[in-house]
Chains A and B, each alone.
Chain A
């Protein structure tokens, strides 16, 4: 039977919401279920309200559900805020002694998290593990899977920690099995053909993509939602040959990455809108000096500091137009966790092949949500360094011209110190040899040479994914992290006998005008669903195809779309649908 089980863990910052959520997610993933888990937290270290929302399913669309089967409440506020999200028959698990929740009755299950932890291992701090055990006990989940996850999670803290965690989890599990018989919560069983999948978030997938692609230099200044990329690479890079420098500001980070790129290593920066604003001059420098660099822009709501720990898709135009002057770029917006890995690999390839910056737009929702994915196939990551000259070719190369004018616009690339070739480049307009010029003819040649690279880039772009359904008169269009929500909305509408097509962009620039233009003609109504207030994709489509869409469903409250919200708003906001 198809499983679609939704559980939320809520509490204050500092109470361990994230770790409870992570362990539950892993236990489901190890049982062969697809997991999608998003996080909601405030821009503070202690207090406030946080939640971790997990969806365990037999199919893998990465979308949230606003209807809960179970709420694990580590404080009273969690119940107050989310009790209305419970489905009929849903259950709240809480510790009455700690949370002072006095409401009782149908759906409330009091589990003494702290007391059980104290009684079994004499350590109150393990109360969260009791909660995990109780949640899984109530749905009859396989305890061995939890046991395996706890072993992996706590191994680095030593044998005692592993043992105590398993003991306390067991106490919660047994308590729920014994005292929770009256609850009608669905029983969740591991999938028989359980296949090993990775459970990771967008930032982690992107970091792995960068490392697989041979990124060797990263510079950054921490900023939500991209800081975990810097942290992950700083940690793993020591062993895998990647240098991550935490530097004085984003201006420095960008110029360092460009300096490293010029010298010949694949390099990257990762930031959010405010940090990217500081990087913009450096982005143009990469364009002018024809230096490969990959820029990760993890969007969050703006303008200015905005809602630092929430999500939005309002920087499409910013990323597309950032930088003074005109230069070629590619712009990608991965649609899900697996796409974040493969798109990052492609970004490094294209940056080097076309010797120009490539931008990856993620957002908080993609960056920090966990999803199960099939293990990345590293043997499929091909490394092609484009027009990079070999050591033998450069050894005795004199009179080298870094910016030689070619038909493709791409110049053969030597690296400083590689051989006798002197590699000269300039942020001033320059001649083929890289020296500053003022004359009009050379200026024209170099502008045209750089922009010719767009012709090649255009051919590299994977067009948007078009799902056409028989009888559909409407197409829902989207880009980036809304993929799961839009695809699930389409599936639900089809079940309802009101099928829609979907057209979803992962690779946005150079804009695949012909494909989009043709797709727009396949439906009577084209509706763009995007996480901003002005309909940036809708505007871009009009600009690039000359065709207007028929409506937009926009969201800018800092929260991700759910499939049901899309359906509801399609019905209420889009006239004549």
Chain B
């Protein structure tokens, strides 16, 4: 049996006290323990920012790559060894700014990955600039006239026909752990947008701000209903829904590859003479 101890790391944590990331870290550990996944079967792929440091603070295989390029690296890794449970971790800057094209492509492609986006509506690591999800008019050092219109990542993912879409809150760890478990067990690409406060740089969207607004989607809400999901995804302001927003079964990319049918690519032997027949074609 896997326990929380298996996911305990002794690497010192570099986050600010009170950061929403602590709650998310706890939820990730809880989900993995509940799923009884051993750390060596898990691969965390992350980019650059405060959120992407998360893999160092737990246990697992870690590929901490470039800002915004988490999904490509995670995709390459998953295709190379589809037996791994691959979890991508980014902030709103990497996921919705620098690497947003990869989010659209990954949603459409539907490789079996889980992507956690810590969304605090501000850049933390570079010290307080506006992010793609900052509120309209949010004044920072790079946006003295106020940030422009925020991007709605949920709508973007739905437009790309994402197969699993959820939103969580770092202040509700059990609920978030449930979403992460659902995302990991879902067959296909799962995007989980996680609202979290930034105690150092976002004094508008604070813990209390989120806490007052988030509500769990109604018990009779049907996440298979895309029309309903499109409405749900647009709710923002006084009331912000958390929970599974949309879920559908779509063909998984790697299932379409005959090359992966018998075993993962990484387990397949290298046999140069195998291509002898191809030489005959020239």
Contacts and interface: CB of A to CB of B under 8 A. Distances in A.
Interface stretch (B28-36, B56-64, B127-135, B226-234): B56-64
B52 to A, nearest CB: 10
Contacts of A383: 270, 272
Contact of A217 (B80, B258, B272): B80
A521 B43 CA distance: 55
Interface stretch (B69-77, B196-204, B209-217): B69-77
A249 B106 CA distance: 12
24 contacts: A198-B279, A208-B275, A211-B275, A219-B72, A238-B259, A245-B75, A252-B105, A255-B65, A259-B63, A260-B265, A263-B43, A263-B77, A264-B81, A264-B266, A265-B265, A267-B76, A282-B69, A381-B272, A415-B266, A416-B40, A416-B77, A417-B40, A417-B41, A435-B56
B257 interface: yes
Contacts of A267: 76, 80
Contacts of B77: 259-260, 262-263, 416
A289 B63 contact: yes
A285 B76 contact: no
* 7 interchain residue pairs of minimum CB distance: A259-B76, A214-B270, A256-B76, A259-B73, A255-B72, A416-B61, A381-B272
A254 B84 CA distance: 21
A265 B102 contact: no
Nearest to A244: B259
A285 B273 contact: no
Central interface residue in B63, B105, B257, by most chain A CB within 10 Å: B63
A253 B276 CA distance: 28
Interface of A: 198-200, 204, 208, 211-214, 216-217, 219, 236-243, 245, 247-249, 251-267, 281-282, 285, 289, 375-376, 378-379, 381, 383, 415-417, 419-428, 434-436
Nearest to B62: A424
A526 to B, nearest CB: 38
A289 B66 CA distance: 11
Interface of B: 11, 39-41, 43, 45, 48, 53, 55-56, 59-66, 69, 71-77, 79-81, 83-84, 101-102, 104-105, 257-260, 265-266, 268, 270-276, 278-279, 282
Given A238-B258, A259-B72, A263-B266, A378 B65 contact: no
A265 B80 contact: yes
B106 to A, nearest CB: 9
Contact of A241 (B56, B104, B265, B279): B265
Contacts of B282: 198-200, 204
Contacts of A265: 80-81, 265-266
A65 to B, nearest CB: 23
B265 A285 contact: no
Contacts of B65: 255, 258-259, 285, 289, 427
Contact of B272 (A214, A219, A281, A435): A214
Contact of B45 (A219, A259, A434): A259
Given A217-B80, A238-B258, A263-B43, 6 more contacts: A211-B278, A255-B69, A255-B73, A257-B76, A259-B74, A435-B56
B57 to A, nearest CB: 10
Contacts of A208: 275, 278-279
Given A247-B105, A258-B65, A417-B81, A240 B275 contact: yes
Contacts of B75: 245, 252, 256, 259
Given A213-B272, A216-B265, A263-B80, A375 B279 contact: yes
A309 to B, nearest CB: 23
Contact of A281 (B39, B62, B66): B66
Nearest to A251: B69
Central interface residue in B59, B65, B74, by most chain A CB within 10 Å: B65
Nearest to B47: A427
Contact of A260 (B79, B105, B278): B79
A239 B277 CA distance: 11
Central interface residue in A258, A263, A285, A376, by most chain B CB within 10 Å: A263
Nearest to A252: B72
A200 B278 CA distance: 12
Contact of B101 (A241, A242, A249, A254): A249
B64 A427 contact: yes
Contact of A420 (B40, B64, B260, B274): B40
